[in-house]
């Protein structure tokens, strides 16, 4: 191994260590004291509930662990958006599980909480996966009600989705394991089956204090909307459980009896591990986002038996396209080549840049994968499309538009891994969040922005200088350097993978060695939903 490999390896393992440390902090939710208080009520935490529900020793993936990271600090923060979302297995059946974390502001809904819940429902809808809600929430966080209550993608959309999902035949099961108040009370009751835990679970449109204020009636919360009331008097809930574990056991029994599903029919054979050492990824991936490396070497460490059958290998070399298998599943891979390559015409193509021939190749490959019903995997490390007169005269906009069109209209499931750069229109063409990947995750090395921090800082500095000069002020070299540093630091914070994950632009930040698991579980989920549309690019034909 050369010295650069060792330096890269040290750098990327430090990044991974930072990721693990941040995840450990996030998993504490509202903190140890609040967890202890939660336990003192005889209740399990959100994560303990999910861990008990999911099959032991089975794989699971967590969506949105960093949602809310660094947001709402003036309100005390909102770790993991106050709700835990995992895709895993219950009685061998793949399910989405959503659990309110009552250690975070009593499970109240912040704006990002609504967005994360909607993302969980989106995963369930796209893949027709059963969804289980473990409810323990005080409802909307009132100081921010105007940002969570009335809009199309706010709180009310959850219940609209409940109704749509029911009509689609998607199983929804709710367990009320704590508070379930006001508008939030509709969620469990709009599910197919609802459980409630005795003494700790409660459901009502208005609590005892509000009832007293509104109509003058004096009543305690347990009599108003406790387990006995709703299981024996109102009939609102279907099952009464004695404690959290009993409720989760009942859910397991219900899920265990769900019938089989119609499959999409994606091709799968016996899984093989990559023949190349997967851990080498840490040494191959360069420390600097501007350095070159061979993406083919990354692919070999992600795919079964390290076999990658390239499509149009000698054409459009700044993109790698081809067929492979991941955990036995057949996939089509579109990846940015990050090293400088030479074309047959003797021209040089920069790594990470999409050229006209590359866009043309990717468009045709995406169409082929749709024709053969092969899921697509996008490996992003892209700085954007090639600029300049030669590219413009050669029709780069037209070729780029065709690629974006193909990605947009693709009917096979898409999965996006942000390995490094994800800049500008390159993010769009390589299936960024706006293009409906079934799952989109980032490695700790990822950066998402309109352009790099260095480039953006230079542009912003020029604007700032022009503004100062207009007011008769001048910058000497030292002040200019200081201002550049401040602008770059601010922008660099925004291109961090944690900034993207906090806003759910990505579903997770993952260890590169977990990439195969995410893609495999994603395709398995997608296999629950048969493809009902034909691939059609409309006016922009290949």
Where do the domains of the chain lie?
A: 1-28+264-446+506-537, 31-256, 452-495
Structure tokens at 39: 């336990």
What was the pLDDT predicted at 393? 66
Common-topology check for domains 1-28+264-446+506-537 and 31-256: yes
Distance (Å, rounded) from C-alpha 93 to C-alpha 348?
Answer: 50
DSSP for residue 268:
B
CA count, 13 A, side-chain hemisphere, 453: 19
Distance (Å, rounded) from C-alpha 177 to C-alpha 245?
Answer: 10
In this structure, whether the domain defined by 1-28+264-446+506-537 belongs to CATH 3.90.25.10 is answered with no
In this structure, whether the domain defined by 31-256 belongs to CATH 3.40.50.1780 is answered with no
Q: Are strands 439-442 and 508-509 parallel, antiparallel or unpaired?
A: parallel
pLDDT, block means (10 residues), the chain with 542 residues: 91 98 96 95 97 97 97 95 98 98 94 96 98 93 88 90 96 95 82 96 86 90 91 95 98 97 97 98 94 97 98 96 98 96 78 92 98 98 84 80 96 98 94 97 94 75 80 78 81 90 98 98 98 86 56
Q: For residue 183, give the 3-state DSSP assignment.
A: helix
Which residues, other chains included, contact 69 with Cβ-Cβ below 8 Å and sequence gap of 6+? 22, 26, 79, 498, 501, 502
Contact criterion met (CB below 8 Å) for 507 and 500: no
Cα 137 to chain centroid distance, Å, stands at 23
Contact criterion met (CB below 8 Å) for 7 and 287: yes
- Backbone phi, psi, residue 473, to 5°: -100, 150
Length of the chain equals 542
Q: Are strands 83-90 and 61-63 parallel, antiparallel or unpaired?
A: antiparallel
Nearest to 256 by CA among 171, 314, 362, 321: 171
**What's the CA angle centered on 291, arms 70 and 435, to 5 degrees?**
55
What was the pLDDT predicted at 397? 86
Cα 177 to chain centroid distance, Å, stands at 26
Nearest to 327 by CA among 241, 386, 267, 265: 267
């Amino acid at each position: 191994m050369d010295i650069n490999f060792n330096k890269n390896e040290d750098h990327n393992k430090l990044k991974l260590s930072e990721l693990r440390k941040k995840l450990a902090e996030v998993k504490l939710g509202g903190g140890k004291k609040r967890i202890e208080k939660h336990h003192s009520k005889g209740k399990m935490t959100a994560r303990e509930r999910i861990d008990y529900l999911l099959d032991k020793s089975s794989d699971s993936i967590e969506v949105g662990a960093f949602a809310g990271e660094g947001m709402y600090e003036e309100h005390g923060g909102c770790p993991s958006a106050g709700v835990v979302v995992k895709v895993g297995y219950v009685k061998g059946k793949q399910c989405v599980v959503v659990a309110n974390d009552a250690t975070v502001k009593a499970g109240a809904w912040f704006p990002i909480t609504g967005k994360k819940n909607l993302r969980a429902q989106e995963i369930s809808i796209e893949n027709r996966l059963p969804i289980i809600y473990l409810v323990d929430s005080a409802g909307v966080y009132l100081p921010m009600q105007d940002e969570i209550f009335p809009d199309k993608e706010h709180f009310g959309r959850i219940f609209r989705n409940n109704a749509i999902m029911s009509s689609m035949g998607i199983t929804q099961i709710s367990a009320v394991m704590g508070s379930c108040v006001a508008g939030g009370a509709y969620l469990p009751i709009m599910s197919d089956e609802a459980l409630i835990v005795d003494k700790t679970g409660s459901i009502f449109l208005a609590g005892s204090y509000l009832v007293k204020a509104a109509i003058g009636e004096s009543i305690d919360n347990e009599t108003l909307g406790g387990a006995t009331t709703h299981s024996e008097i109102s009939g609102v809930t279907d099952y009464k459980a004695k404690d959290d574990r009993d409720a989760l056991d009942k859910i397991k029994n219900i899920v265990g009896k769900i019938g089989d599903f119609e499959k999409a029919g994606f091709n799968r054979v016996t899984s093989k591990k990559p023949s190349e050492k997967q851990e080498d990824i840490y040494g191959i991936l360069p420390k600097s986002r501007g350095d070159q490396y061979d993406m083919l070497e990354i692919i070999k460490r992600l795919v079964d038996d390290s076999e990658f059958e390239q499509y149009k290998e000698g054409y459009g070399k700044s993109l790698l396209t081809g067929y492979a298998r991941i955990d036995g599943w057949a996939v089509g891979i579109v990846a940015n080549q990050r090293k400088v390559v030479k074309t047959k015409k003797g021209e040089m193509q920069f790594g990470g840049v999409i050229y006209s021939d590359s866009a043309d190749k990717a468009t045709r490959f995406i169409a082929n994968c749709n024709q053969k019903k092969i899921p697509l995997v996008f490996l992003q490390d892209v700085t954007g499309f090639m600029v300049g007169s030669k590219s413009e005269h050669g029709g780069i906009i037209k070729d780029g538009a065709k690629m974006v069109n193909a990605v947009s209209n693709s009917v096979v499931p898409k999965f996006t891994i942000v390995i490094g750069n994800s800049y500008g229109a390159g993010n769009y063409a390589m299936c960024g969040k706006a293009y409906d990947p079934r799952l989109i995750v980032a490695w700790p090395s990822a950066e998402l922005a309109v352009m790099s921090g260095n480039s953006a800082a230079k542009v912003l500095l020029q604007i700032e200088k022009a503004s100062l000069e207009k007011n008769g002020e001048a910058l000497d070299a030292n002040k200019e350097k200081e201002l550049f540093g401040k602008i770059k630091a601010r922008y660099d914070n925004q291109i961090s993978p944690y900034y993207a994950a906090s806003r759910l632009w990505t579903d997770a930040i993952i260890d590169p060695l977990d990439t195969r698991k995410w893609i495999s579980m994603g395709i398995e989920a997608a296999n629950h939903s048969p493809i009902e549309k034909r691939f059609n690019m409309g006016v922009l034909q290949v």
